[in-house]
Structure 1
Amino acid sequence: MARKDYSSYTARDFALDEDFQQWVLQPATRNVFWERWLEQHPEKENDVREARQLLQGISFTSFQLSSEQKDGLWEAICGGLEGEGPTPQEPTRTNWWQLWKYAAALLLGMLIAGGWYWWKAEPKNTILSSHTRLGEVKTFLLPDSSEVTLNANSRLLYASAGKQREVWIDGEAFFHVKHTASHQKFIVHTYDNVHVEVLGTQFNVNSTGKEVVVVLQQGKIQLNIEGRNTSLALQPGDIVRYNKQDGDFTKSSVNADQYVSWHTGRLVMEDYSLADAATFMQQVFGKTIIVPDTQLLKYKVSGSMPIIYNADTMLVQLEKVFRMKFNQKGDEVWIQKK
């Protein structure tokens, strides 16, 4: 079988290549081709190293479920549990965590021994999960070779079977969805009644805070709002903000880079206010920003800077950018004029 021309491959191209995946994820099966190819192409060492780190960063547990087990899992996640006390009128983050913990326990009980063999056989029902802590970001590949970057303090659950792939997200994630030969739909659910449906595209979903914010960078997506009988078609640069409390939503056009650049390690600031910085520090590092003079929250800057996933370093950078005095006391940061 003729080999591909790997000399022009980027790190992402390597990570998406099935032969490369098998070499990295099945080290027990020695692949002489890749060892010799690397000796002949030392200039690609950095790309190969980056691709290996991307694949080895996948820290999921694989599962194969029966239809009955899968239906039971979705019912637990999406519909809540019966027999655990009265159901409140509105969902809360605590309720979501209860469902998430139940789902994790259910998954563990359904575990079937096996490994990463999804590139070989017919597509199987698959359940995967991942999460990040405060100050942590993960980039990984799903079994369909779609790429996900999961922002700090976020949780993701993935399932694939038949004609569609589904993701449940609590927090923020950037998706680069791979189009499949069978035209499988890729659906992202939030626990706030917002669902995003795509075939192959790049977009960001953020369900932290009081809103669910969906931004499309490339391709097309269909956004459905449960209970409102509303379906919105988004074009690149469109943003939809959904209010969790009253169900209202707005759609407008923005510079998508400002909302998605975090997954490349940069903070793009376009009319970026101190209030925006406070939201960022709360979401990523769990820091509470206290500003006695609330007028300072309206102060805006423009530009960009690298995101360093260290709270102290980011506070120093933001202090310089906004030219204000930041005084950290535990998880609280007090801000005032210099």
Structure 2
Amino acid sequence: MAEKYDDTFLARWLANELSEKELKDFEASEDYEYYTQIIGTLEFAEFPQHDIAENLNATLYKIEQQKTTPKKARKLYPYWMSGVAAAVIVVFSYLFFFQNIKYTTQQAEHLSFFLPDSSEVVLNAYSKITYSRFNWKNNRKVVLNGEAYFKVKKGQTFQVETEQGTVTVLGTQFIVNNRDNYYNVICYEGKVQVTVSNKTPVILTKGKGYTIKNGTHESYSISDSTPSWIANESSFNNVPILEVINELERQFHITIEGKDNLKPAYFSGRFSHDNVENALKTIFVSMNIPFSFENNKVTIKK
């Protein structure tokens, strides 16, 4: 008597999560070619973005309603649904597992979420992360534009890809900041490897940071146990003043004009996200930069 499986069988097949025996038996069945043909067709199809679970439930309901006479169900290995309904499951499982997931934040916004393996990510303001849930167990990779804090569960290699470099870990806590002309990685726990084009990979352990600013590569040490912006405060260690000004803009709903009037300089210090006027004074007054502030617009004077 054939072994029966639950209704996650096709979804697990698409995600490469079948056991060796399940896969071998399925490939030897008469239904294997039928479903590989469906997947082959889907490779070239384009689908609108909808609520997958809702559409699946609605489609299966319609199938049940349209059954006017008893029919001999097509035997799908492993015998859990008719051919038509199973094909629907394949389609929606394909859409679900092959979808790229995207998280974004706007100015003055942080966002916390979990990846499929329960690794935690916190996005800083004005940032974006994308990843594919398909085969996540064996391909833990996200693409980052902006800044994010990661608490990675131990498992297969985990990668954070950016335009400026790749961070590779097994299980640890760290941040990656990838902005225009600025790249920064800090390890808070465990160990990470930073790979940048044409450079020897850099290994960071707890309390170590690595940055690229204005084309200069630099390693340094920190004393913080978590990113300051998690606690609504931005801190800087010898960071170009333009990046500090851009961070002010990201953390508050303000526009800053006159950036071309800035002279080359570096800033070390921090500002709180609680009060915009205090934050402006912390940066501009301490750096002797003349400015005006009115109607949520900052103007940097010559």
TM surpasses 0.5: yes
Match for residue 267 of structure 1 among 228, 234, 237: 234
1:256–1:213 CA distance, 2 compared to 1 (3 A): farther
Q: TM-score, normalised by structure 1?
A: 0.52
Determine the C-alpha separation between the residues in 2 that align with 1:66 and 1:236: 38
Shift of 1:155: 1.0
Determine the C-alpha separation between the residues in 2 that align with 1:321 and 1:169: 27
Q: Residue type matched to 1:252 in 2?
A: S
Aligned to 2:42: none
Determine the C-alpha separation between the residues in 1 that align with 2:265 and 2:213: 21
Establish whether residue 189 from structure 1 lines up as the match of residue 157 from structure 2.
Answer: no
Shift of 1:145: 1.5
Match for residue 240 of structure 1 among 200, 206, 210: 210
Aligned to 2:105: 132
What root-mean-square deviation, in Å, do the aligned CA atoms of Structure 1 and Structure 2 show?
4.1
Aligned to 1:206: 177
Q: TM-score, normalised by structure 2?
A: 0.57
Structure 1 residue ranges, 4+ long, deviating more than 6 angstroms after superposition: none
Shift of 1:262: 0.9
Aligned to 1:175: 150
Percent sequence identity over aligned pairs: 27
Which structure has the larger Rg over C-alpha atoms? Answer: 2
Shift of 1:140: 1.9
Determine the C-alpha separation between the residues in 2 that align with 1:171 and 1:65: 35
Determine the C-alpha separation between the residues in 1 that align with 2:225 and 2:259: 24
Query: What is the aligned residue count?
Result: 217
Query: Does structure 2 conserve the Cα–Cα contact (< 8 Å) formed by 1:215 and 1:256?
Result: no
Match for residue 253 of structure 1 among 220, 226, 230: 220
Establish whether residue 317 from structure 1 lines up as the match of residue 279 from structure 2.
Answer: yes
| Runs (5+) with no aligned partner, structure 1 | 1-62, 68-105, 116-123
Query: Does structure 1 conserve the Cα–Cα contact (< 8 Å) formed by 2:256 and 2:300?
Result: no
Match for residue 258 of structure 2 among 270, 287, 290: 290
Aligned to 2:115: 142
1:318–1:288 CA distance, 2 compared to 1 (3 A): closer
Determine the C-alpha separation between the residues in 1 that align with 2:103 and 2:184: 21
Aligned to 1:334: 299
Determine the C-alpha separation between the residues in 1 that align with 2:192 and 2:103: 24
Query: Does structure 2 conserve the Cα–Cα contact (< 8 Å) formed by 1:278 and 1:289?
Result: no
Shift of 1:158: 2.4
Query: Does structure 1 conserve the Cα–Cα contact (< 8 Å) formed by 2:272 and 2:279?
Result: no
Shift of 1:230: 3.9
1:233–1:131 CA distance, 2 compared to 1 (3 A): same
1:229–1:267 CA distance, 2 compared to 1 (3 A): closer
Query: Does structure 2 conserve the Cα–Cα contact (< 8 Å) formed by 1:257 and 1:268?
Result: no
Determine the C-alpha separation between the residues in 1 that align with 2:184 and 2:47: 29
